[in-house]
Amino acid sequence: MHVNPGRIRAIRSGEARGPVIYWMSRDQRVNDNWALLYALEIARKLNESLAVVFCLTPRFLEAGTGDRSYRFMLDGLRELEQRLSSLGIAFMLAYGDPGDVIPDLIDDSGAGMLVADFSPLRISRTWKSMVADRVEIPFHEVDAHNIVPCWIASQKQEWSAHTFRLKLKKHLSEFMEEFPGPSPPPRPWRESVENRWPDPGTQKASGCRIRSGERAAAEQLERFITEGLERYASHRNDPARDAQSGLSPYLHLGQLSAQRVALNIMALGDYTEFLDELIVRRELSDNFCYHNEHYDSMEGMPEWARRTLEDHRNDRRDYIYSYDELEGAKTHDDLWNAAQLEMLIKGKMHGYLRMYWAKKILEWSESPEDALITAIRLNDRYELDGRDPNGYAGCGWSIGGLHDRPFKERPVFGKIRYMSYEGMRRKFDAREYINRISRMADQ
């Protein structure tokens, strides 16, 4: 079986000859990975070897090597090294800026073909164009993250989930195929590889309670299917109950394929609410970041939302909190503080509270611009699933009216959808949630 050519784009074309390198970044898994399958397909065609390279940078957006998110990622990469080795595929952990490291590695190894996975984020695109400028071998990119490749789903930025859903539906049956298993390449990598792993002792003790890696991801999916899926539609917006899938940290780092999740769940029945979040909402975020270079600033927000926020720029704010006060969960609002603490402790805030959390940052900041910067900074610093298109779309939706419509006008928010403390208390048992988080903080 061949990888659907619609998933593949040539960043640099040419005739491939020699060993193949898959530069892995966003899709950190062995199973159900179209980029790995494509690299294997080329290696077979050339009767050549394959190595997977991960280029570790000291910082990635708001995260740095000592942080919990790095620890989580590195735990998964260690498991990946073993899985690849059992398939006869070399794994190299390289250090430094990919724009330098990848071309040097290609020169040193005599590789004849480079394959990369896809991300719409600015940083990943910059890395790729730096690499493309320096290499002279064919360089192909595979969208192994989205079910419908981002460049096929839509050729423009979509303004609502509704219009995007209609476009995705046209392509879903073509791309929602079962994955073949990966098989060993025809030849082993010429040299044996000894990776130097960062010393876990130098990393901050992690308060992370979420296990990392492909195995943990598959187990979490199974657990959700047996224990959570049936009550997802009715309880997913209740932070006092544990009815979300818990899959986002794994999906973010590509330790789990969204297409695998969709295939397994679609085989069980009609779980529209879950599949709509997993497919439409998630892929809409990639559409946003891919087509809008200002995805992380107010400049990238819809015109109506910027106008209404401008009209209310000088409205009186009852509270204004500094970044440090927000980071330290030191506001007058016990529900907001609990949500912030959940993120600090667990690395994963409940999805329903993320909306409330970001909207209150708008209410308590000097300006919408400050609010968006603060929300993204905290989200990217502390969420295990942060630094992801979903985060930019989520903060944009809450603060900048992205993918949303105008609501009744009110102070500070203008026509941006508002959420209140009282409204949250009517929807779920806020006291129960706050107590649960304070017990977690005491542990």
List residues near ligand FO1 by CB under 6 A.
25-26, 55-57, 60, 63, 69-70, 73, 119, 121, 124, 253, 387-388
Question: Is residue 246 at the binding interface for ligand FAD, with CB under 6 A as the rule?
Answer: yes
Question: Is residue 370 at the binding interface for ligand FAD, with CB under 6 A as the rule?
Answer: no
d(CA 267, CA 285): 25
Q: Which of residues 274-303 bind ligand FAD (CB under 6 A)?
A: 277-278, 281-282, 285
> Which of 49, 157, 212, 244 touches ligand FAD (CB under 6 A)?
244
Which of ligand FAD, ligand FO1, none sits in contact with 414, Cβ below 5 to 8 A by type?
A: none
Comparison of 99 and 351: residue with beta carbon closer to ligand FO1: 99
# residues near ligand FAD by CB under 6 A: 29
Q: Shortest approach of ligand FAD to residue 246 CB, angstroms?
A: 5
Q: Shortest approach of ligand FAD to residue 393 CB, angstroms?
A: 6
Which of ligand FAD, ligand FO1, none sits in contact with 25, Cβ below 5 to 8 A by type?
A: ligand FO1
Q: Shortest approach of ligand FAD to residue 192 CB, angstroms?
A: 37
Read off the amino acid at residue 68.
Answer: R
Comparison of 18 and 198: residue with beta carbon closer to ligand FO1: 198
By the 8 A CB rule, do 260 and 31 touch? Answer: yes
Q: Shortest approach of ligand FAD to residue 144 CB, angstroms?
A: 15
Dihedral sign, CA of 412, 372, 366, 430?
positive
Question: Is residue 391 at the binding interface for ligand FAD, with CB under 6 A as the rule?
Answer: yes
Q: Which of residues 304-363 bind ligand FAD (CB under 6 A)?
A: 351, 354-355, 358
Comparison of 185 and 391: residue with beta carbon closer to ligand FAD: 391
Comparison of 63 and 152: residue with beta carbon closer to ligand FO1: 63
With 0-12 / 13-18 / 19 or more C-beta atoms within 10 angstroms meaning exposed / middle / buried, residue 324 is: exposed
Which of ligand FO1, ligand FAD, none sits in contact with 124, Cβ below 5 to 8 A by type?
A: ligand FO1
Q: Shortest approach of ligand FAD to residue 193 CB, angstroms?
A: 32
Alpha carbon 282 to its chain's center: 9
Angle between helix 368-382 and helix 351-363 axes, rounded to 10 deg: 140
Dihedral sign, CA of 297, 299, 302, 303?
positive
Comparison of 53 and 247: residue with beta carbon closer to ligand FAD: 247
Which of ligand FO1, ligand FAD, none sits in contact with 398, Cβ below 5 to 8 A by type?
A: ligand FAD
Alpha carbon 284 to its chain's center: 12
Which of ligand FAD, ligand FO1, none sits in contact with 248, Cβ below 5 to 8 A by type?
A: ligand FAD
d(CA 257, CA 27): 8
Tokens encoding 79: 């498991």
Which of ligand FO1, ligand FAD, none sits in contact with 73, Cβ below 5 to 8 A by type?
A: ligand FO1
How many residues does the structure list for the chain? 443
Question: Is residue 255 at the binding interface for ligand FAD, with CB under 6 A as the rule?
Answer: no
CA-to-CA separations, 379 to 44, 69, 135, 143, 346, in angstroms, rounded: 42, 12, 35, 25, 13
Question: Is residue 390 at the binding interface for ligand FAD, with CB under 6 A as the rule?
Answer: yes
- From 21-29, 102-110, 180-188, 241-249, span contacting ligand FAD (CB under 6 A): 241-249
Tokens encoding 430: 């806020």
Question: Is residue 396 at the binding interface for ligand FAD, with CB under 6 A as the rule?
Answer: no
Comparison of 19 and 254: residue with beta carbon closer to ligand FAD: 254
Interacting residues with ligand FAD (CB under 6 A): 236, 244-248, 251-252, 277-278, 281-282, 285, 351, 354-355, 358, 379, 383, 385-386, 388, 390-391, 393-395, 397-398
